[in-house]
Chain A
């Protein structure tokens, strides 16, 4: 390139005198141009820029201003020096060794919780010295470089610290490798920045393990160290070694669970022996940050108390240990999903590393590869009878006709339709799993996008369903096919996600008090829709229960399903209602100012129909339906309660500049684009807000009549009953066997919420309507506080705390 340019550049320029001497090849010439440069600058006009043609103002904003103490990380305050006073070859006592090791652990955990390395581990002068200048081989990674006189060579304790530090660094390498291999959000979840330091990427685990083994042996043999200190040091070295092995990214799945438990078992001893250590604050410095390739000035070291660090460490190990169970749970996509969801909603929320750890397992070939695709198993569990002829594997053995003009055999056509659909499902399904491995705030936001993808999938499913129906008709197995099975499946899955989005919104206290009413109403609507679809699936898969007179009155609803909250129940309350039908009329939200029809009290009496089909899928559908019904009943009741509270507080107390309807519009925005369920209709909002037609004051609320209260309490009863039934079927029935304990806790939490709700409703009823109502209730204060340390786990179900003003 430059050769061709040589003649071009040798124009008749004046040769600068400094260039007259012949220099060796490519020797850079340095010419002082200060004077002329300054003179030239003086010659410029004010505001005139001499600049690169492609250099923009926008780019210039990114420049770091040198000598600005807030921007220039190399700017030294007067008297400040760049070098640290601490010499890493300084002899340390065994107590100090323990102190430094524990401090390193604190920083490592701070890093896990989101601080950058520069403010945590990279403040260690020992680690800095090991990493910089970069060592070509591990032997070079010492606290000194080059030669050092014999008397200053590291002694046993420094060697132990070196082995420990090396393992810490390698642990970081593995953690970064694991987290960055999965989807994560830089600086939101985790800082993977290593500031151009290479964390021994190329060196395998066993090298570090050997270093640790060697010093462990040496410390064991040493007679100079106090016995208690000796065992404390050995314990720390051993735990570090185990942790390193556990973090190894190449560890095969079957070995994953080997290491976390031993670490967990040692943590208490580490905590107990922490006091033996003596901190060495001078071994850590913010000044190292100035030498890291970074454009931010030094920030303070992230100080984390040892107690908190151990808490984080324990949580990390527990979560990872829990994640390893993913391999052992029943091989079923719904079990997997239950596990992922439960893991994501664990309290405290799992650290980014634990989530990546689980993600790696969940997306490993061992899990994803199966004879029948996971997605098909998922579909089968909802909408196909067991051993359905539609999915008969023998269809796959059919051969296409030799004559390309002849149609494919029908069985093969079926296989093609299903396989093509599965191919479309795969990306959406993967997205869902990826989303479930994110942090909880992200799950909520990303799920909305996943739902949009499933919405598109639902349209494609309709096409596939039409094809399936035609082929099955031709094959004479139409009775094996429920109405629009694939669409139903996609819709059920989509509604499940919607429910979770709403519940996560409550969990993250996104909704304000006046929004709760319509958000719970929306949840009710979604759950109701899901329950309805599940009822259809149940009917197809398990078979029709003995026909009752009501059944003929409520024909099976066809897709696309529309919510019919305004449709008053056609059943008379005195008639017995089957479980499926009951879902349609748990609460009747009034369409207009007509007082709500009586809540179907009979639901309480309707004992759940005992189905004889005890297959896994039958149990699953039964339980899913129960939980969906429980959810819708509880959501309906809560929606009512919050509406009443809204009325009691009087109109527009919240903000003069916004109305509940505007906020409703804003909340619903992401869901408006969906083809189903319909959200745009204002009746959704009105239904949630109208009690019995426009009452809006305390007096009116007092005059609401018994129905509202009865209705709410009945709804809770239904919810409790359904949840109890579900609990009896147990986690296995819900395909949550893998997370049995968490599932039980969730059911318990939901039941508990029902009970709390019941108490609140009874209290309000008494105060406003009952005999005590004459005592002059002037107002009411509603407190929504997330209780910490609740003994049950109940994500997204918020019961209000009430304070009466007399």
Chain B
């Protein structure tokens, strides 16, 4: 289903027309800057896809992107919250197992629909499940 839906979001990569001089200048000054059309297309391809957002307090939220805006506020659906085990916990596990490479699992729980304010977004990761040989469906 996702694949089908995604067809509508395939970004238009061709050279954008009607760029204003100002916009051109901006792009020249900052190669990463995008005009509205590019930005919209780029972001649209992640709608409904799995993202991992690292929040300012270290937690990671994994869920489907539902919505975003200029302030980089992000709404995720069907989200799980992941929290790194505390240093104490790691220490304890290592001590108990005697193995410095012992696996300490992250704590996770389901939190559902969440909005992560842009101010608290530290890192955004795209999570993609691909078959071997399958090409990515998004332009990164």
A2 and B3 within 8 A (CB): yes
Where chain A touches its partner, the secondary structure class is loop
Contact with B along A644-667 (1 / 0, CB 8 A): 000000000000000000000000
Contact with A along B15-36 (1 / 0, CB 8 A): 0000000000000000011111
Cβ of B104 within 8 Å of any chain A Cβ, yes or no, is no
The stretch of A9-17, A689-697, A758-766 in contact with B is: A9-17
A60 and B137 within 8 A (CB): no
B127 and A43 within 8 A (CB): no
How many whole Å from B51's CB to the nearest CB in chain A? 8
Given A44-B39, A52-B67, A55-B67: A30 touches B109 (CB 8 Å cut-off): no
A39 and B33 within 8 A (CB): yes
Residue in chain A with minimal CB distance to B11: A13
B39 and A34 within 8 A (CB): no
- Chain A residues contacting B111 (CB-CB under 8 Å) are 64, 73-74, 293, 295
* Cα-based distance from A50 to B35 in the complex (angstroms): 14
Residue in chain B with minimal CB distance to A46: B70
Cβ of A48 within 8 Å of any chain B Cβ, yes or no, is yes
Where chain B touches its partner, the secondary structure class is mixed
* Cα-based distance from A35 to B140 in the complex (angstroms): 11
Size of the chain B interface, CB-CB below 8 angstroms: 71
Task: Classify chain A's interface size.
Answer: 35 or more
B4 and A5 within 8 A (CB): yes
- Chain B residues contacting A45 (CB-CB under 8 Å) are 36, 70
Contact with B along A191-226 (1 / 0, CB 8 A): 000001000000000000000000000000000000
The 8 Å CB contact of A52, one of B7, B47, B124, is B47
* Cα-based distance from A220 to B136 in the complex (angstroms): 68
Given A9-B3, A41-B43, A60-B115: A26 touches B52 (CB 8 Å cut-off): no
A33 and B47 within 8 A (CB): no
Given A30-B127, A41-B118, A42-B39: A50 touches B3 (CB 8 Å cut-off): no
- Chain B residues contacting A26 (CB-CB under 8 Å) are 129-131
B114 and A65 within 8 A (CB): yes
- Chain A residues contacting B83 (CB-CB under 8 Å) are 74, 82
How many whole Å from B67's CB to the nearest CB in chain A? 4
- Chain A residues contacting B117 (CB-CB under 8 Å) are 65-67
Given A25-B132, A30-B126, A39-B33: A67 touches B137 (CB 8 Å cut-off): no
B125 and A51 within 8 A (CB): no
A9 and B137 within 8 A (CB): yes
Cβ of B99 within 8 Å of any chain A Cβ, yes or no, is no
* Cα-based distance from A423 to B91 in the complex (angstroms): 70
* Cα-based distance from A293 to B107 in the complex (angstroms): 12
Extra A-B contacts (5), CB below 8 Å, given A25-B131, A67-B116, A74-B83: A15-B135, A26-B129, A42-B70, A62-B113, A82-B107
Residues of A within 8 A of B (CB): 1-2, 5-6, 8-11, 13-16, 18-19, 22-52, 55, 59-60, 62-67, 73-76, 81-83, 196, 291-293, 295
**Sample (16) of A-B pairs whose CB atoms are under 8 Å apart:** A13-B135, A15-B136, A18-B140, A26-B130, A28-B128, A32-B126, A33-B140, A36-B140, A40-B40, A50-B69, A65-B114, A66-B59, A66-B115, A67-B57, A67-B117, A73-B111
Residues of B within 8 A of A (CB): 1, 3-4, 6-7, 10, 32-36, 38-40, 42-44, 46-48, 52, 55-57, 59, 61, 65-72, 75, 81, 83, 86, 88-89, 107, 109-118, 120, 122-140
